[in-house]
A and B are shown apart, each in its own frame.
Chain A
Amino acid sequence: MPASRLLPTPFHGSEEAFHMIAQGAEGVVYRTNFLSSNSSTSPSNDISGNAALKIRYPKPWRHPILDRRLTRQRILAEARVLVKLSRELRAPGDGISGAVPNVLGMSSEEGWLATEWIEGATVKAGIRGWEERQRVLREKAQRGDDVASEAQLEVLRALLRRIGAVVGRLHVCGIVHGDLTTSNMMVRACKPSPMGKAEAVASTSDDDKLEGEIVLLDFGLAQQSIADEDRAVDLYVLERAFGSTHPKVMEGRYSGQSAGAMFDEVLQAYAVATGKAGKITLRKLEDVRMRGRKKSMLG
């Protein structure tokens, strides 16, 4: 990282540890402690902390006035969407469990946004782990094909249905994500027990790793929109990303089904979660797919 990048106030000179998690085109994500008594001042190599801190560093190639304006707008937009969703996404009673990280703090002037740290693995890692387990099982059984057992398939299908339901709920809230991929979704490692107390599930089997609450991340490209076109494009982006990240699942190699049959689990659960409006969106998705790309031909 260039030396010009100093942490913004109030993190600059802080004694907390900042562990870089990801560096994208938009900004850099660190894990750290934010307004927490469990300070990590003791020298330790453990990556810990209660917060994910996303910093949008100034882009030196952009005019400074323009750069400040854009950083400000984007941090504000992302924070607003997250706050709106953490209120509305988890509706009571219908059994759809999904969430976004809570916003802990932000500064649109300094260009940072701190959100709750989500324990767990990304959906991408979860599905890759599932695929790896199928490979091991297959080798044990000395089978040649990829077809997984019905019980194993049900674990994966249940995950896909929960993804569809959460995306549906997101759209019902009037938000489109703009960048739905399996790396922008987490399966939370702890799930609240009926008593409301968090209980660790690390001790139980690997399949449980696919069973936590789905948490959506990275709303940097999110928009407030209820247009069918935007919703359909959101689903199309997910479908394309899913196909390029998990091609064997997409091609139906584990279930012996036709290509796309597994992803239909996502779409069916989406339809259930969205009702009438969802049916229109799914019809629109057909159009978007037929275009061969995600936008209409305008000249």
Chain B
Amino acid sequence: MPIAIGLEGSANKLGVGIISHPQRLSTPQFPHDSAYSEDEPKPHGSKYVSPPVEILANLRHTFVTPPGTGFLPKDTAIHHRRWVVRLVKQAMQQAKVKLEDVDCICYTKGPGMGAPLGSVAIAARTLSQLWGKPLIGVNHCVGHIEMGRAITGADNPVVLYVSGGNTQVIAYSAQRYRIFGEALDIAVGNCLDRFARVLNISNDPAPGYNIEQLAKKGKVLLELPYAVKGMDVSFSGILARVEEMAKRLEASQTGSDGPWKDEESGEPITQGDLCFTLQETVYAMLVEITERAMAHVGASQVLIVGGVGCNERLQQMMGKMASERNGSVYATDERYCIDNGIMIAHAGLLAHKMGFRTALQESTFTQRFRTDEVLINWRD
């Protein structure tokens, strides 16, 4: 039973996960496999092809900064260094695995923020030397995709990967995850996070989550730019415009500018309306490029991964689009959507089985590491 430890720290979450890939039996063993508890999406019958996985531990600690601020690389790196030993110890206890049963130490090689990636790479190297286990450097995006496939059982989906640092529409072809469309400037999650800062929305548990809650109270759709170029999107202009709106809202509430009212209903514009407008606009863009990619490659399944993928409005819109095309949408909850160690362990173990190793002198990290650079030799 191959077992891997995964360390993730490309942004403000430090994750440690321990995974086991039970040997494949001649008879399929799902859905009794332990990875599928009652509250999780079940794999779809015979379509299920990814190896069944057993999650032994999946711990995460998030660096949360005060409202109005973001997380700086230096402070995030300090956070990761402070917590990594505690998290690894706790995960090992929870998993109840013996050290000799562990096959490899997997860590995020990139893409992500340099300083936090560095902290976690050092931790991984140390564990590898200390315990005499091989190292596996993992592409963060591939980790998200493989974990999403394993959890949902989506066989060959078009993948929408949306998070604070990445926005990509991906489809698999000839042993690569190919990028069909992506954000030309900032990622969608970055757009949401920075908007939250202007409105002083709390970063706990995540700015995007709090925007989603506020958006439920919004009714008025204001006009924002809509920047879709083929299968690519751009969010920086939207951010600039919505930040202006936030300032106007603040000025109207402090009274210096007079109240800001909706022209049709005469009701005052609220923070909720701004959140609602932002969500409706950016998620419509994402669903549109996903639909175009699905039409292009002729796929009917769509898988949403990454932190923004937890958003229920995005999942709902994607679901409507997919059902119009007689397809289905696959999404996971926050345990697997948001950055976690288990996905790094999972993708690392898949590569480990194919004989991939990262030598100590090559165990670097990189801020830029494209999804399509990785040879996906574990898929047909």
Contact = CB atoms under 8 A, between A and B. Distances in A.
A25 B291 contact: yes
Nearest to B292: A25
B295 interface: yes
A63 B221 contact: yes
B317 A62 contact: yes
A13 interface: no
A257 to B, nearest CB: 25
A61 B185 contact: no
A63 B287 CA distance: 12
B3 to A, nearest CB: 37
Contact of A25 (B185, B186, B295, B319): B295
A293 to B, nearest CB: 7
Contacts of B232: 295
A107 B179 CA distance: 35
B295 A179 contact: no
A66 B221 contact: yes
Nearest to A299: B185
A65 B226 CA distance: 13
B136 interface: no
A60 B320 contact: yes
Residue of A59, A61, A179, A299 contacting most chain B CB atoms (<10 Å):
A61
B291 A298 contact: no
Interface string A263-296: 0000000000000000000000000000001010
Contacts of B198: none
Contacts, number: 53
Contacts of A221: 229-230
A1 to B, nearest CB: 9
A61 B321 CA distance: 6
A24 interface: yes
B264 to A, nearest CB: 10
A144 interface: no
Contacts of B288: 25, 59, 62
Determine the interface band of chain A, counting residues with CB < 8 A from chain B: 20 to 34
Contact of B184 (A26, A59, A61, A298): A298
Interface string B141-180: 0000000000000000000000000000000000000010
B294 A25 contact: yes
A70 interface: yes
A295 B184 contact: yes
A2 interface: yes
Interface in A188-217: none
Interface in B280-306: 280-281, 284, 287-288, 291-292, 294-296
Interface string B227-259: 001101000000000000000000000000000
Contacts of B226: 66, 69-70
A100 B5 CA distance: 59
B242 to A, nearest CB: 14
Nearest to A5: B324
Contact of B284 (A66, A293, A297): A66
B318 interface: yes
Interface string A173-192: 00000110000000000000
Contact of A61 (B230, B296, B318): B318
Contacts of A60: 320, 324
B320 A61 contact: yes
B230 A178 contact: yes
B73 to A, nearest CB: 14
A59 B221 contact: no
B281 A24 contact: no
B294 A63 contact: no
Nearest to A179: B230
B328 to A, nearest CB: 14
A66 B283 CA distance: 12
Given A61-B284, A61-B318, A62-B317, A298 B185 contact: yes
Given A66-B226, A221-B230, A298-B184, A24 B295 contact: yes
Contact of A2 (B179, B223, B324): B324
Interface of B: 179, 184-186, 221, 223, 226, 229-230, 232, 280-281, 284, 287-288, 291-292, 294-296, 316-321, 324, 368
13 contacts: A25-B288, A25-B292, A25-B295, A25-B296, A59-B284, A62-B288, A62-B317, A63-B280, A66-B280, A69-B226, A297-B368, A299-B185, A299-B186
